[in-house]
């Protein structure tokens, strides 16, 4: 069994990935910026699976913090097998020219700088220990295609993350190192709900049917994602949960066959 280090893993997708690694007997290091959040997550995750869990605060926008996260993982569990750059932020509320300055800094610093620093630390560590697997988290519109409204700055950071991943693959064609990306689809997380608070009741009524097609619960997608990560030996692979064929099948089921998914009743929506 290996050790998995996941940034931004005290909640949301990162927490779901941590849960699934633990259930499969792997040791996990969780992190976020807040000490209280880390301590709470470690206590809750410790009851799951047979793997061991530890955690430490980490601000991924500071490389020294990211290096300290690696050092913590090695000191606690030894060799790092998997490193997932998950920490980041998404927003769907602003046109590019309206994006508040502080949010621009948050998106670029967390989504791009954090991925760069995490990749630097992980690759350096993998080269020294003789191998390991690095995965960067992608998002909507990461590679051209249809534009998602009000997500210009966010999508630009994820497009940069994909290009960065391609460079990492090219630069690290060495035995034992696997580099890839994860496209988790649109998963319902705490941050996702925070964004929906800004949607009016009328707008929610309009978008809810489509969101029931596009979205998934974290616990639905993360088991499959972790299984794919553990099985993959091919550098450059993008592990995608919501593929185009799957999406087309969902729309056909909803609008042709009349099969409706209801993801939001459990949340009182």
Cα separations in angstroms, 47 against 4, 43, 51, 85, 104: 17, 7, 10, 24, 38
Whether the predicted model's global pTM rises above the 0.85 cut: yes
pLDDT for res 145: 67
Mind listing the pLDDT tens digit of every residue in the chain (269 residues)?
Answer: 899 999 999 999 999 999 999 999 999 999 999 999 999 999 999 998 789 999 999 999 999 999 999 999 999 999 999 999 999 998 888 999 999 999 999 999 999 999 999 999 999 999 999 999 999 999 866 666 678 888 899 999 999 999 999 999 999 999 999 999 999 999 998 887 777 777 888 888 898 999 999 999 999 999 999 999 999 999 999 999 999 999 999 999 999 999 989 998 888 77
**Residues 160, 156: Cα–Cα separation, whole Å:** 6
Tokens 């097998």 appear where? 81
Residue whose pair of structure tokens reads 């602003």 in the numeric block: 94
pLDDT score, position 142: 66
Burial label for 238, CB within 10 Å (0-12, 13-18, 19+), is middle
Torsion on CA atoms 252, 255, 259, 262, rounded to nearest 10: 110
Cα–Cα distance, 118 to 78 (Å, whole number): 18
Distance of CA 29 to the CA centre of its chain: 15
Run of H or E residues at 13 = helix 12-23
Query: CA dist 37 to 22, 56, 58, 82, Å?
Result: 18, 10, 11, 22
pLDDT at 136: 98
Compute the distance between CA of residue 142 and CA of residue 159 in angstroms, rounded to an integer: 4
Give me the pLDDT at residue 141, please. 63
Fold type of domain 3-186+216-242 = Rossmann fold (3.40.50)
**Residue in the structure block whose two tokens are 């490193």:** 83
């Amino acid at each position: 069994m290996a050790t998995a280090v996941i940034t931004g893993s005290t909640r949301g997708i990162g927490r779901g990935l941590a849960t699934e690694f633990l259930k499969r007997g792997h040791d996990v290091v969780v992190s976020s910026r807040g000490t209280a959040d880390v301590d709470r997550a470690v206590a809750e995750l410790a009851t799951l699976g047979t793997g061991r869990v530890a955690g430490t605060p980490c601000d991924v926008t500071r490389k020294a913090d990211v290096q300290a996260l690696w050092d913590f993982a090695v000191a606690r569990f030894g060799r790092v097998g998997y490193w997932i750059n998950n920490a980041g932020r998404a927003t769907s509320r602003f046109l590019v020219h309206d994006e508040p300055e502080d949010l621009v800094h948050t998106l670029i610093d967390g989504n791009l700088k954090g991925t760069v620093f995490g990749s630097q630390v992980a690759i350096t560590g993998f080269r020294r220990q003789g191998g390991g697997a690095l995965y960067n988290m992608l998002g909507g519109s990461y590679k051209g295609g249809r534009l998602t409204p009000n997500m210009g700055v966010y999508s630009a950071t994820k497009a940069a993350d994909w290009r960065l991943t391609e460079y990492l693959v090219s630069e690290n064609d060495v035995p034992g190192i696997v580099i890839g990306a994860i496209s988790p689809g649109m998963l319902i997380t705490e941050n996702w709900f925070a964004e929906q608070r800004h949607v009016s009741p009328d707008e929610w009524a309009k978008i809810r049917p489509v969101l029931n097609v596009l979205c998934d619960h974290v616990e639905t997608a993360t088991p499959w994602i972790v299984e794919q990560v553990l099985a993959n030996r091919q550098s450059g692979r993008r592990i995608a949960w919501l593929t185009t064929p799957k999406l087309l099948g969902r729309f056909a089921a909803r609008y042709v066959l009349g099969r409706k998914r209801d993801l939001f009743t459990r949340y009182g929506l």
